[in-house]
Chains A and B, each alone.
Chain A
Amino acid sequence: MGIAFLVFLALFAIFGPSAGGGITETKWGAFEFPSSRHLLGTDQLGRDVLARVAYGARVSLAVGITVQLLALVVGVIFGTIGAFGPKWLSVTVMRFTDGMFAFPDILLAILIIGLFSNSSHGGGALGGFIISGFLPVVVALSITAWPSFARLTNTTAASLKDREFVVAAKALGAPSAYVIVRHVLPQMWGILLAVSMVELAGTILAEATLSFLGIGILPPYPSWGSMINLARDDMVSHPLWLLWPCLILSLTIFALNFVGDGLRAILDPRRK
């Protein structure tokens, strides 16, 4: 069920934004009720709510997946160094990772965005989007996301290090890099995938939080977080407009946790 919802979400993100006239078209009346042209009605500026929610899905998934990939690469590299590198290097890397845990996640992201984001607008469609918060958000969230992958890779790799097949490969004279790439990393993809599902939920939530605070994805590009923030002003008269982004955000996070926990239960050797 969780997987079905995620597939639906991906399709929605790809095809949804063109529904009802696109995300910034304002020629219709404000707060129109749901109709055949606007399935979820229009918002306070007369923009189609369905298209905006769908575009929010695109933003969330794009931010979430980019961040997870970046964090995964950095985390795996650091974690492997921590397990296989020379002693002085591995100690330095893992102490640094521990240090990153001492800083509350979103606090660090807020600091990074606060000091680096460029509030000016301009550029073409894509350029405008990247300037409007996409890049700072991805950078900030990646920096806060990699330590947990590093720690996971480190502990998993350390436990694999003394297993027979690794020792055997080394005894046959295989170079360390070859052993790591061919024998150690393939053992870990499953658990890394499961954890990145759960972490993806965290990243999407973090993006929504930043956008809600007004420092994530900037207007005119919609994000679930900023839509919730906008709809709040009119919740007295139009509670329905608050409902959609809230609902889809909660469902997404629930589905990701659900699928991730399921995967982890299947793939994590420690839970067997």
Chain B
Amino acid sequence: MRLARQILLRLLYGAVSLVFICFVTFAAQSLASGDAATALAGEKATPEQVVALRHQMGLDRPFPIQFASFMAGAVRGDLGKSYFGQQRPVGDIMRDNLPTTATVAFCAMILAAGIGILLGTLAAIYQNRFADRVVLTVGTLGVTVPNFVLAPILVYIFALKLDQLPQTWEDPLRDAAWKYLLLPVVILAARPTALLTRLTRASMIETLSQEFIRTAVAKGVPPLRLYFKHALRNAILPVITAIGTSFGFLLTGSFVVERFFRLPGVGARTIEAIQRRDTPVIQGGILITGALFILVNLAVDILLPILDPRIREAQV
């Protein structure tokens, strides 16, 4: 019962965050110079035509009403139309590009979580020994080297010198799709992997020094079972929270990686839109990415009390 209430509360909090993101994206637009009507009417339009178009688009209504209709549209997936080209609906553009971004981001997330937790646990078990030092050094490098520095290095090695993987996305694809996505996923995963490794290590070391571990050792629990069942189960909780937050790095990283590899994703589309000053597409891109971030964090928030009886018992 208490668990259900907690989940409900978190869902509510997630919904509030989503509305907040919608509000920020919307407010930013109305503060920006030049409005949609002027942009859509084109350069040859007379002032009267612009005013008429503004009325037709509802841009002369009071701010709260405009926001309400923007929200209502966003809920139905209607995010307005692009200013350029065939003026495609932004919802369609996002629907075309979201799968690439989501695939790359989630693969990177899974890769980062898997490797990070495994390496962090190993480093904690062999604390201050050689293996630990190696993991720590690589981890520090992973945090300091930016992904757009790592990207050219890896492309240079794997695509140019070894000639194993394609350099950038091509249309149409000449090879299996996973070969095109492998490098982007690895590069995107680098920073979260390093962060999660360091966090798992710290959390594991703290857990291993606690009394119930000593009890388990005294009881004669075999080492593997001790580390991966008793200790990791307790140490992993802060790591799971961090997976949620580092998903934010991942999404911003996907802007860089998509541009570097010319992937057809939301990030690349948004940057293009910024350079062409295509406001609805910018809004759509930021809105979709922000919503993705909130949904992942919501999932983490809901998962935590299920995994950890202590949080479940605590009052919110």
Q: Which residues of A contact B (CB under 8 A)?
A: 99, 102-108, 110-119, 205, 208-209, 212-215, 225, 228-229, 231-232, 235-236, 239, 242, 246, 249-250, 253-254, 257
Q: Is B277 an interface residue (CB 8 A)?
A: yes
Q: Which chain B residue lies CB-closest to A242?
A: B152
Query: Interface residues of B toward A: which range?
Result: 35 or more
B residues less than 8 Å from A205 (CB atoms): 146
Q: Is the CB of A253 within 8 A of B152?
A: no
Instruction: Given A209-B256, A212-B148, A214-B275, verify A104-B248 contact (CB < 8 Å).
Output: yes
Contact residue among A104, A232, A246 (Cβ-Cβ distance under 8 Å from B293): A104
B residues less than 8 Å from A116 (CB atoms): 31-33
Contact residue among B256, B282, B289 (Cβ-Cβ distance under 8 Å from A115): B282
Give CA–CA (A105, B17) in the complex, Å.
15
Give CA–CA (A137, B153) in the complex, Å.
27
Give CA–CA (A108, B271) in the complex, Å.
13
Q: Is the CB of B24 within 8 A of A108?
A: yes
Give CA–CA (A246, B160) in the complex, Å.
18
Give CA–CA (A246, B21) in the complex, Å.
34
Q: Which chain B residue lies CB-closest to A252?
A: B144
Q: Is B270 an interface residue (CB 8 A)?
A: yes
30 A-B contact pairs sorted by A residue (CB < 8 Å): A99-B20, A102-B17, A102-B21, A105-B248, A107-B286, A107-B289, A107-B293, A110-B274, A111-B282, A113-B274, A114-B274, A114-B279, A114-B282, A205-B146, A208-B148, A209-B148, A213-B256, A213-B259, A214-B275, A215-B271, A215-B274, A228-B148, A228-B152, A229-B148, A232-B152, A235-B152, A246-B153, A249-B149, A250-B145, A250-B146
What per-residue 1/0 map shows which CB atoms of B21-36 lie under 8 Å from chain A? Answer: 1001100110111000
Contact residue among B31, B145, B277 (Cβ-Cβ distance under 8 Å from A119): B277
Q: Is the CB of A110 within 8 A of B270?
A: yes
- The residue among A110, A114, A209, A249 with the most chain B CB atoms within 10 A of its own CB is A114
Q: Is B83 an interface residue (CB 8 A)?
A: no
Q: Which chain A residue lies CB-closest to B293?
A: A104
Give CA–CA (A217, B144) in the complex, Å.
22
Instruction: Given A104-B248, A212-B256, verify A228-B282 contact (CB < 8 Å).
Output: no
A residues less than 8 Å from B25 (CB atoms): 111
Give CA–CA (A253, B148) in the complex, Å.
14
What per-residue 1/0 map shows which CB atoms of B253-292 lie under 8 Å from chain A? Answer: 0011001100000000011011101010011001001100
B residues less than 8 Å from A112 (CB atoms): 28
Q: How far is the CB of A38 from chain B (nearest CB, A)?
A: 22
- The residue among B29, B144, B155, B256 with the most chain A CB atoms within 10 A of its own CB is B144
Q: Is the CB of B29 within 8 A of A105?
A: no
Given contacts A105-B252, A114-B282, A253-B144, 4 further A-B contacts (CB under 8 A): A99-B20, A106-B255, A209-B148, A242-B152
Q: Is the CB of B156 within 8 A of A253?
A: no
A residues less than 8 Å from B249 (CB atoms): 104
Q: Give the 3 A-B residue pairs with the shortest CB-CB distance, closest first.
A: A104-B248, A115-B32, A114-B274
Q: Is the CB of A111 within 8 A of B255?
A: no
Q: Is B294 an interface residue (CB 8 A)?
A: yes
Q: Which chain B residue lies CB-closest to A253?
A: B144
- The residue among B160, B252, B260, B289 with the most chain A CB atoms within 10 A of its own CB is B252
A residues less than 8 Å from B252 (CB atoms): 104-107, 209
Q: Is B251 an interface residue (CB 8 A)?
A: yes
A residues less than 8 Å from B275 (CB atoms): 119, 214-215
Contact residue among B20, B149, B152 (Cβ-Cβ distance under 8 Å from A250): B149
Contact residue among B29, B146, B290 (Cβ-Cβ distance under 8 Å from A249): B146
Q: Is the CB of B270 within 8 A of A114?
A: yes
Q: Which chain B residue lies CB-closest to A112?
A: B28
Q: Is the CB of A239 within 8 A of B144?
A: no
Q: Which chain A residue lies CB-closest to B289?
A: A107
B residues less than 8 Å from A242 (CB atoms): 152
Q: Is the CB of A115 within 8 A of B31?
A: yes
